[in-house]
Structure 1
Amino acid sequence: MRYCLNKPAMIKNLILSLLFCTGTTAWAQDTIAFTLKQSYPFLQQDANIIQNSVTLTEFYEKLYQLKKLRKNPVHILQIGDSHIQADILSGTVRKLLQLEFGNAGRGLIFPGRVGRTNESGTITSSSSGLWDAKRIIYTNQPLPIGIGAMTIQTEQAGNTIKLRVNPGELNYSFNKMTFLFEKDLSSYNLVIKDSIGQQIAYVGPYTFETPNISRVWLPYSISQAELQTLQSTNLQKQFTLYGINLENGKPGVLYHSTGGNGAKVKHYIEATAFAEQTKELSPDLIIISLGTNEAIEYPYVDPRFTDQLDTFISQLKQHNPLAKFLLTIPMEFLQKENAKKSGCGNYAQQIN
């Protein structure tokens, strides 16, 4: 299906098409043509509407300029629950946007398997030694929650995490890594090795960068890395990881996604480090895809849901004052083989 982007209004239809895997055709002067291959007859395309879409005009303009000039990355952050942790919807949108506007890297990742849960199909992680883990839904347990909607920690020097970006239609090899981690006097250093075990970079807790952030430029692009904790002083007792951002230094789209199985809006509000760490991703657009786990409790409807959503958005705006926001309604689901028992429609109305 052929599609054209004008400056910049038609891009909003592209965003809709990608988020809901539909196709639309539009024509205008000063356009960029492309083809969206996938469309499904059971999708109600007329129901896919972005309300108040004028607020996204600046974001559309950035995409348009990226397409025309191939300069400067555009940053998108999608926040959600298990649907986003699995990176199925977000992974599809990421791929299609990057095929159209350029691939600036895989973006934010979290080594879910190290925390004994699932992870995006674009990466594979493993570890050695003992690692504690905390998911975002367990707010009463130790360990703060940051950008990855999950936290892992080790108290053993010499432990490792192996990360690999899996081969696919897009090349996600990287030459820049941004670590979001607990960076203080008690934190281990980190050695970065390539696939043959050669040390290529070093992360220490003492830098002039923002607290809990270290950016590392690698001498060459790699698709696999080993991270090893290193104790260099007696004060260092632990290493706590919130997430890693992988980039390739090229112009294009960086589509970050973060989600937690079972997560609700209230869990993100209670995650002490989450909102603050989002600013390190410099999002131009923040997509919030929550409400499904609230809807599971139907017919009970949490009267605080709308207020919680407003609070969460306010937290994000505090740290990302220039970002635009897009809220998606929760997807329908079957509960005990009866779709009518789902409360998704009720929560969708509240989000709207």
Structure 2
Amino acid sequence: MTNTSRTSLILAAVLSLSLSPVAASQTNPAPPVIIPENPVDNPDQEETSEVSESDEEEDSNAAAPHETTTEEVSEDDNSAERENEVIIAPDDSDIDIPIPSFINQEANTINLNGADWSNLRQAVNAHKIRPLSILIIGDSHIQANMGTGVTRELLQYRYGNAGRGIISPLRMSGTNQPYDYTFSSSLPYTAVKLMKAPWKRTMGFTGTSITPSTSLSNITIGTRTEEDYNPFNSIILFHKGKMVISGVTDELGNKVAYTQHPSRDFTFLKLASPNTRVTISYENLGDLTLFGASLSGGRPGVFYHSIGNNGATYDTYNRIGDIGASIKPLNPNLVILSLGTNEAFGRLDTARLRNSVDKLVKDIRDANPAAEILLVTPMECYRSTTKTVTKKVPVRSKRRKGRKRRVTRYRTVKTKVRSSGVNTNIRPIRDAIVAYGAENGIPVYDFWEVSGGSGAAATWIKNGLFSPDRIHHSAKGYRLEGRLMYDALVKAFQ
């Protein structure tokens, strides 16, 4: 059924209603009628209609009432899809992930842009002596931990598992959290998250924070044990304000011996034995706010820390401030910035983007001069547009006796058709990031090109690699992206 025929049916239905006494009564006007959403012939479209009535007085000598139609097209910002909770079922497929033929494997390399990664390669080669620390910062693509989880698994399979690394109280803040860890509390707290400004509490570098509501509180943290046994024996608790640990218990309630080493912005907690789940009781001495924790197994290998927030941009991380100083306790050898998708929704401003990239890069470099930085470009995705068609249809005209004006009843039908198509802002965002890296000697991983460049979104959709919103990937798509990132990193490390 076409959009025109569907609208005709709607009009026929509402016109028949207007003939009833109640519908025609001026003292009992018909309430607005919402027509439920229905699928249309085009799978990229969805249609909704709203019906309302109105009476208008018109000059009797004017032309007979007639139907009028107006159209308005607007681009959606897709904020609900980009900023709200992203639920993607985990995919526990085998670690061997095939690469489709449409992937540009020749482009699946890191362009160093003249940067010297010899120190990073030395750190990779020394991973059996001291852990290699990699941190990736991004948006919802990173928060879900689908792709980053695959990259972490593959890197740790190759170089050794130093530990889960950083975890954040995302679920406590009312958003989706990776499946491979637990972060909770049995006592009341106040939470804030990055994209819900203004922030009522101090915002942490993880993009979320929790403030206990009582002077004595607790947190339970742990790693998933269904498949991978990932115990930890040391914890870095990131916070603002004074924190004093009063006890640690394991998942059975047994006391765990520990030592604590407080610092201004974090507390280091050393456990006497490895655990996969502990509850930490602590005293809140003042305005204490927790941002997250880093879990270490005390083993050689690699950390692949990840910080992701739905809807995040370079600007939002810059608003937190002191990202570089906050990540310093992680001792990063490499910091990966994987952002740009959300900048492509709304008004395009590549000059502002470049300034935002530069500000975050300098903040990280100033506090972590030994860390290398890698920029990642976003791949092509879709965005939605809404066309509103308003039809004003006369359903009855009556000339009142002795008057020079007539009263015409109109039925107004507003039909909204939401369509989706390629987000054309992605390409200039990608180009700006590539150009910034080239001009400033910062390595770039051009995932836009690797994924297939222009037209890649349609190909990925056809092959089941995008989720229904056509912004995020499916679990299969994220697994592919994680595998490709791993391959590119290993090539650069050699």
Task: Report the counterpart of residue 106 of structure 2 in structure 1.
Answer: 46
* Relative contact order, higher structure (CA 8 A, sep 6+): 2
> After the TM superposition, which residues 95-174 of structure 1 pair with which residues of structure 2 at under 5 Å, given as runs?
95-167=153-225, 169-174=227-232
Query: Aligned pair 1:224/2:277, yes or no?
Result: yes
Secondary structure of the residue aligned to 1:268 is: helix
Task: Report the counterpart of residue 352 of structure 2 in structure 1.
Answer: 304
> After the TM superposition, which residues 174-323 of structure 1 pair with which residues of structure 2 at under 5 Å, given as runs?
174-184=232-242, 187=243, 189-201=245-257, 209-230=262-283, 236-297=285-346, 300-323=348-371
| Alpha-carbon distance in 1 for matches of 2:319, 2:369 | 20
Percent identity reads 29
| Alpha-carbon distance in 2 for matches of 1:118, 1:190 | 30
How far the C-alpha of 1:269 sits from its partner, in A, is: 1.0
RMSD: 2.3
Name structure 2 gaps, 5 residues minimum: 1-94, 385-418, 435-494
Name structure 1 gaps, 5 residues minimum: 1-34
How far the C-alpha of 1:36 sits from its partner, in A, is: 6.6
Tell me which protein shows more strand as a share of its residues.
2
TM value normalised by structure 1 = 0.80
Relative distance call for 1:62 and 1:168 in structure 2 (3 A) is farther
Task: Report the counterpart of residue 373 of structure 2 in structure 1.
Answer: 325
> After the TM superposition, which residues 4-23 of structure 1 pair with which residues of structure 2 at under 5 Å, given as runs?
none
| Alpha-carbon distance in 2 for matches of 1:38, 1:115 | 36
- Residue identity opposite 2:122 in structure 1: E
Find 2:431's aligned residue among 324, 349, 352. Answer: 349
- Residue identity opposite 1:296 in structure 2: F
- Is the deviation greater in 48-57 or in 79-88? 48-57
How far the C-alpha of 1:282 sits from its partner, in A, is: 0.4
- Residue identity opposite 1:344 in structure 2: I
- Residue identity opposite 1:313 in structure 2: V
How far the C-alpha of 1:191 sits from its partner, in A, is: 3.0
Q: Is the 8 A contact 1:113 1:125 kept in 2?
A: yes
In the comparison of the two structures, how many residue pairs are matched?
Answer: 305
How far the C-alpha of 1:332 sits from its partner, in A, is: 2.3
| Alpha-carbon distance in 1 for matches of 2:337, 2:188 | 33
TM value normalised by structure 2 = 0.58
How far the C-alpha of 1:83 sits from its partner, in A, is: 1.2
Task: Report the counterpart of residue 5 of structure 1 in structure 2.
Answer: none
Query: Aligned pair 1:60/2:121, yes or no?
Result: yes
| Alpha-carbon distance in 1 for matches of 2:157, 2:293 | 23
Task: Report the counterpart of residue 404 of structure 2 in structure 1.
Answer: none
| Alpha-carbon distance in 1 for matches of 2:198, 2:210 | 16
Secondary structure of the residue aligned to 1:114 is: helix
How far the C-alpha of 1:168 sits from its partner, in A, is: 5.2
What's the CA shift string for 1:199-223, capped at 9, x where partnerless? 325687xx5x531111111011100
How far the C-alpha of 1:261 sits from its partner, in A, is: 1.1
Q: Is the 8 A contact 1:229 1:239 kept in 2?
A: no
Task: Report the counterpart of residue 141 of structure 2 in structure 1.
Answer: 83
Relative distance call for 1:198 and 1:237 in structure 2 (3 A) is farther
- Residue identity opposite 1:38 in structure 2: P
Relative distance call for 1:229 and 1:295 in structure 2 (3 A) is same
How far the C-alpha of 1:138 sits from its partner, in A, is: 3.8
How far the C-alpha of 1:43 sits from its partner, in A, is: 1.5
| Alpha-carbon distance in 2 for matches of 1:76, 1:115 | 25
| Alpha-carbon distance in 1 for matches of 2:226, 2:379 | 27
| Alpha-carbon distance in 1 for matches of 2:300, 2:98 | 25
| Alpha-carbon distance in 2 for matches of 1:285, 1:149 | 20
